[in-house]
Amino acid sequence: MKVLVIGSGGREHAIVRQFKNSQSVTEVYVAPGNDGMKHDATCLAIKALEFEKLASFVRENGISLTFVGPEQPLAAGIVDYFEAEGLRIFGPTKAAAQIEGSKSFAKELMKKYDIPTSDYETFTDVNDAKDYIRKMGAPIVVKADGLAAGKGVIVAMTLQEALDAVEDMIGNQKFGDSSSRVVIEEFLEGEEFSYMSFVHNGQIYPMVIAQDHKRAFDGDRGPNTGGMGAYSPVPHISEDVIKQAYNTIVVPTVEAMTKEGTSFTGILYAGLILTSEGSKVIEFNARFGDPETQVVLPRMTSDFGDFMTSLMDEQPFELEWSNKEIVGVVIAANGYPEHVEKGASLPDLTKLPANLHFFHAGTKEVKGHFVGNGGRVILVAAQASSLKEAQQQVYDALADMKWDGFFYRYDIGWRALT
């Protein structure tokens, strides 16, 4: 079995690694990948949006399955293109990817099918949006309607912060067309968790849950980021809560997408919050979360290639997971998530303990060593019999190395351990 993974970040490195570790898979390619993936896959000089070149490579090299990592090619219709060419690909069509690509599409779907989420209104006019914010008060959540690389959400704790967010997004077009429309939501209080599922033609295989840390600094302070670390399992979210979320959110959403003529295949990511009224949806994504993927996939003990083949062939499969617990810490470049400082040298990653996982995201190899080449640079994770032990192992390893030009949080997993 030959596999092609589309993408270049830490999430894609985790997907590549999972395929590489599968006995059923003989070759793994990644397009475009990054320099740190070269030991796990053959990197191709083809960009994620170069559909024709990707399809040609798949045909000419007998690729069994293409797995799409990031949201941009999904939103641009890579699945539609490949399927029209008769090529097997895992991911949602352009229409189905709207569940992530348009916050208003997702909200309207949830409203129509009574899927629990926060109250909201959608705006394209700055003054109308500001009037609504003044009427509702703070805290309140302001979201760019379209894709914004995980940075289009402002959880405004003050009125001024919310008004500034609307001005930035609609008025100043901070995210271009993606923020010409905004969704303003009520602020929900509770415990957040990420619940991802493999979906194909109505089949749903839920994964173990994870919790990530979005704020840049310890104690959940600082600006929102794409995620500074994650851990799995989430012991303070009970099995009963997970089961209820599956029955009231995951299944109804998959069924709703089919009823709407936008049947979903791919990774359905449900970003949930456990409120006093039960679990509610904060957001849906149409692909794996990052950094959650890097702590969820290492817990899978089933052969990933066999599972994906069975899923696409609509054959039953018993998906199995390790009881070992995992904590992953993101190493980010100084200045992230705003003005990132690139080019700082990373320490010798081969000196990390052999039992740790590490996944490359924004790295580049220069004269035999790696330098930072993005905001989130790598994720280092430890797997152990308890979260406490995993947390201790990863932080002990990081403390033994010099991270000049980079920073990381020192409290990943704190919600489960305090």
Q: How many residues does the chain have?
A: 418
On the 0-12 / 13-18 / 19+ scale of CB atoms within 10 A, 27 is middle
Low-confidence ranges of the chain (pLDDT < 50): none
What pLDDT does residue 288 have?
A: 97
CA dist 378 and 360 (Å) reads 5
Concatenate the DSSP letters of all residues of 359-385 into one string. Answer: EESSEEEETTEEEE-SSEEEEEEEEES
Between the CA of residue 139 and those of 142, 159, 181, what are the distances in Å? 10, 7, 20
Record the tokens describing residue 326, joined without a space: 């995992």
Residue 160 identity (one-letter amino acid): Q
Q: What is the pTM of this model?
A: 0.93
Please report the domains of the chain, with CATH numbers, ordered by start residue.
2-94 (3.40.50.20), 119-186 (3.30.1490.20), 191-312 (3.30.470.20), 325-417 (3.90.600.10)
Q: Which residue type sits at 127?
A: N
- Tokens for 84, please give them: 């029209």
What does R_g of the chain's alpha carbons equal in angstroms? 21
Please provide the distance, in angstroms rounded to a whole number, between the alpha carbons at the two ends of the chain.
Answer: 45
Distance between CA atoms of residues 167 and 187, nearest Å: 19
